[in-house]
Structure 1
């Protein structure tokens, strides 16, 4: 699977940490040229230090529509795009502020729309777009009201783009994990009182590991998924059937 991305050019947003960081390193180790987009210069420096030959940093704040367009103007032709950047502000509905709402929507869906539209002329025929969504797009979790709404929007956008871009031979899919054990995921879900009720509904009785999300994205970027278009790949250990 990973051999398919050798010599390909792939842009990954949210590359500074977590899933995006691990994905960039995996793609680079497989011989892809990776344009790593993040808003932290320090994180990008660390990424480049791991493989300066294959990892090309791009410092961008995805919440700024015009700056994103300017920053992406010099991007070369692409074989793949991974919209991974996202935020999650977990609060009870009555405590969410207008700023919380805007932050969620500006990054989780508006930036996906903006980045994808800006890069569309640069995507080659046969390219693959992968949006990192969440099982929260289709299932409800306490404190996730705004977050879930944005991920539902990502899933809807994924299907619409799969329809519109299919005629250009550009595939669009999403990966939809449950809790992923990034550093943030581990910090937020170590309390058994919080994690226990959710784990009780997952037949595999565990959360998703970062490499499992990375592998799913790699599959969707590769030719192994050449007839997969408009799908949401649920990574949830059987949660939906429990």
Structure 2
């Protein structure tokens, strides 16, 4: 999978799966445009892989549109930006809902929209991968808004696949299991909570960020040129059993 001559925009590129994607896509020849909130993360990533950077808080719709304008035209888009606010169904707050849905769902829809508009203006073609979660398929305690945001993004991605398809733009989702990132550590660092989840994986482990990135790269490549509207689990078999 050689992406030489191609440009990819990656949101949430400063940490976790997004950073793994940035490293992998750069290693395979792509020009990476990294969007994230923390300037220090952008600086370290730029030093590591030589990417272009855009600092933005994607919790703001206006900032998200401005970030995409600054990122410029691209051939591919990876939506990795995401947060979680650990609140139960009894304890959900409006602030938690707005924060999670604003970044995990609204920002992703805006970046897809701006990417697709630019691709159509350029003559069409291109590929999007939105990172969702097995939390959109199974109920996990204290993941109410997170699950809603990820399930919502999968539904929206199917709509975009239908509407963008005539322009040659593919839209797919990757739904990872618990992936060993900083965000996951907050939710799953307690062995009492993590072990029952671990044993439900036929592979008997959680995912590494690089493993998710490799699947995303495949879905962006021409090896997957007939794939659109799909949700691909990267879950060690969790959803299969």
Q: TM-score, normalised by structure 1?
A: 0.94
The alpha-carbon deviation at position 58 of structure 1 amounts to 0.5
Q: In the alignment, what sits opposite 1:205?
A: 204
Q: In the alignment, what sits opposite 1:6?
A: 4
Distance in 2 between residues matched to 1:13 and 1:78, nearest whole Å: 13
The alpha-carbon deviation at position 187 of structure 1 amounts to 5.0
1:159-186 deviations in whole A, cap 9, x for unaligned? 1011111100100000001100113324
Q: Please list every run of 5 or more consecutive structure 1 residues that lacks an aligned counterpart in the other structure.
A: none
Residue of 81, 86, 91 corresponding to 2:87: 91
Q: In the alignment, what sits opposite 2:182?
A: 183
Matched, 1:62 2:58: yes
1:57-84 deviations in whole A, cap 9, x for unaligned? 0011111112222232243321100111
1:77-133 deviations in whole A, cap 9, x for unaligned? 211001110111122222221100110110110101111112222225331000000
Residue of 13, 19, 34 corresponding to 1:21: 19
Q: In the alignment, what sits opposite 1:112?
A: 108
Distance in 1 between residues matched to 2:118 and 2:208, nearest whole Å: 32
Distance in 2 between residues matched to 1:70 and 1:233, nearest whole Å: 30
Q: Please list every run of 5 or more consecutive structure 2 residues that lacks an aligned counterpart in the other structure.
A: none
1:204-236 deviations in whole A, cap 9, x for unaligned? 111111111000110111101000110000111
Query: In the TM superposition, what are the counterparts of 1:159-174 in structure 2 within 5 Å?
Result: 159-174=158-173
The alpha-carbon deviation at position 139 of structure 1 amounts to 1.1
Q: Which moved more, 1:199-208 or 1:71-80?
A: 71-80
Q: In the alignment, what sits opposite 2:44?
A: 46
Q: Runs in 1 of length 4+ with deviation above 3 angstroms?
A: none
On the 8 A contact 2:61/2:110 being kept in 1, the answer is: yes
SS at match of 1:146: helix
Distance in 1 between residues matched to 2:77 and 2:94, nearest whole Å: 30
Q: In the alignment, what sits opposite 1:33?
A: 31
Distance in 2 between residues matched to 1:101 and 1:39, nearest whole Å: 19
How many residues get paired? Answer: 238
On the 8 A contact 2:86/2:187 being kept in 1, the answer is: no
